[in-house]
Amino acid sequence: MRRIGIAALVVAVAVVAGAVTASQLRETPTTTAAIVAPTTSTLVAELPPVSVPSTTRAPAASTTTTTPAPPLVPVTVPEEPLPEPSAPDPGADQVFDGFGVVTVAAGGADLASTPGGPILVRAREGLVFPADAIDGSWVRILTTCDEVAWVPLEEVSAESVAPPFAAGAGGDFANAVIVVDAGHGGPNIGTASPDGMLPEKVVNVDIARRLRDLLERSHTVDWESGTLYEGDDVAPAQRVILTRVGVGDTADYEAGLIYRATLANAAGAHVLLSIHNNAGWEVELDHPGSDVYYQNQVDGSRRLAELLVEEFRRSFAAFDAEWVGAIESGAKSRISPRDEVSQYYGILRRAEMPAVIAEGAYLANESEAELLKTAAFRQAYAEAAYRAIVRFLTTDEVAAAPSYDPVVWAGFAGSGDPVDTCTVPAQEE
Ligand SMILES: [Zn+2]
């Protein structure tokens, strides 16, 4: 066996934001159709006015060129995020050398407990696993259930760990590797809208996919207004990895916190953004109560969190809601009471790169839940995250957002450990 890698396979107790109660599990429908508002007319009627950007506004870059700028085309708000891209060709990148990640090729891949051993499951195409060793024609991976398994190299495409990225002015976004984590999944639903129709695990996936779609395309950004246009000022990121792959029901599976963080570490990700929506507010606010948790032991994480808070407030200002939040809302960090040093949240504790947990809006608040049922608001969430990541990786900007020093946190946030019934999503026959 050739050991090549990551050391983050240590099992530890893990926690995530958002306690799940038994009643939530019973009352919440498992259908993911609930992400769409009951009827189109209702949805449209409830949509707040979305500012329509001028198509004649010149991009900032046009002042430095003599060629006339083409008319700007606003980025549209898709009703649904794009379908899953087809799985990569296993023949294209089979040589696996160094730690990294593997993506299950079209048709699925057998997972075995040992190289050549009994098959545990035929894993679904498109799943991405962190990998840390090769033995002959087998590669060792960590499954979505936080378990070690082996997969034939010929049934996956392998990618090495990405080179480091110096976040800041001059950063080339075309080199950026970003892991977008949709919080919760499977029996861990997170919170839910008060009517029970929209579980957090579902809306998080939709937002994650919208963010992926933005990151994989080039844009021109009007940084004054925050409006995104089709254009070339910001290149597509080099690689965007989702921790939960699929649409609707196919994305509704458990993913352990060790898996999520290890995947980002093994990819050499330059940003890990975990998408959540909140419950348990303290007060009514006259502005969105977005909270973003940073990893205080990793340089840059706090700046990323502050930028994201600023961009959330900008994106959400276009919407009317009875906002709620914590008395102190903004960029925050929670420390475990066990040692008063390490991060409280399991995914941040393990992350080796600037990582944040975004609690964009309060899904448990009826007014904000109605917004989260609309494509326009979910797109605004994704666009805020997009702008924050671009600013973080390519500028030295520091946001003027509320920001708080780390605090020891003794609250209960629910366990993020996979339950006994956790299974790796299987390839359809
Ligand atoms: Zn959550």
| Average predicted confidence (pLDDT) for the chain | 84
What distances in angstroms separate CA 25 from CA 28, 192, 197, one per listed residue? 6, 10, 12
For residue range 15-41, list pLDDT tens digits in order: 223 333 333 323 333 333 333 333 333
- Taking alpha carbons only, the member of 296, 428, 357 closest to residue 18 is 357
On whether the CB atoms of residues 122 and 110 are closer than 8 A, the answer is yes
Name the token pair of 136.
Answer: 């002959």
* Confidence at 238, pLDDT banded by 50, 70, 90: very high
Paired with 123 in beta bridges are: 109, 426
- Asked if pLDDT for residue 301 goes beyond 70, the answer is yes
- Report pLDDT for 252: 96
Tell which residue, 126, 119, 80, has the closest CA to residue 428.
126
Q: Which residue has the higher pLDDT, 37 or 172?
A: 172
Q: Is 226 left (phi over 0), alpha (psi -120 to 50) or beta?
A: left
Distance in Å, CA 159 to ligand 1 centroid: 29
Is the Cβ–Cβ distance between 224 and 387 less than 8 Å? no
Question: What's the start-to-end Cα distance of the chain, in Å?
Answer: 32
Rounded distance from Cα 414 to ligand 1 centre (Å): 10
Length of the chain: 429
How far is the CA of 256 from the CAs of 15, 145, 272, 416, in angstroms? 10, 5, 15, 6
- CA of residue 160 to ligand 1 center, whole Å: 30
Ligand 1 centroid to Cα of residue 189, in Å, is 8
For residue 271, report the distance from its CA to the centre of ligand 1, in Å. 19
Burial of residue 180 (CB within 10 Å: 0-12, 13-18, 19+) is buried
Q: Give the model confidence (pLDDT) of 331-340 as tens digits.
A: 999 999 888 8
What separation in Å is there between the alpha carbon of 193 and the centre of ligand 1?
12
> Ligand 1: distance of its center to the CA of 70 in Å?
42
DSSP 3-state of 228 = strand
Provide mean pLDDT across the span 297-320: 97
Q: How far is CA 215 from CA 108, 157, 306, in A?
A: 26, 21, 20
